[in-house]
Amino acid sequence: MRKGEVTKPTAAPSMPTIGEIARRLAVPTHRVEYVIRARHIVPCGWAGNARVFDQEAIESITAELERIETLRSRDRDLRSSESTTT
């Protein structure tokens, strides 16, 4: 850096809380909490009393929520087809 040169500040990495992850994914907070607990996803740190998660953890949470929703919709489809055939 040269004398008198101004540098741009770098953005802080995004490390959202459970509530922020739920908001971004448009799902209830308890679903995010369930996935974190059931899949033993570890926070990368704490912001006060709130756990914060890195991008890798967010991707794991997203993938697991999508997997659960796929299984739920498949189950709903099976039940609805069984009820129409009987």
Give helix then strand counts, H and E, for the chain: 3, 2
CA dihedral for 12, 15, 25, 76, sign (positive or negative): positive
Burial classification of residue 41, based on how many CB atoms lie within 10 Å of its CB (0-12 exposed, 13-18 middle, 19 or more buried): middle
- Does residue 34 form part of some domain? yes
- Relative orientation angle of helices 29-38 and 55-85, to the nearest 10 degrees: 100
- Does residue 46 form part of some domain? yes
For residues 53 and 60, what is the distance between their CA atoms, to the nearest angstrom? 11
Token reading at 12: 């802080």
- Does residue 2 form part of some domain? no
pTM metric for this prediction: 0.76
Residue 61 and residue 32 in contact, taking contact as beta carbons nearer than 8 Å: yes
- Does residue 3 form part of some domain? no
53: containing domain: 18-79
Count of domains observed in the chain? 1
What's the pLDDT score for residue 40? 97
- Does residue 55 form part of some domain? yes
Is the confidence at residue 85, as pLDDT, over 80?
no
Task: Dump pLDDT digits (tens) for 65-81.
Answer: 999 999 998 888 888 87
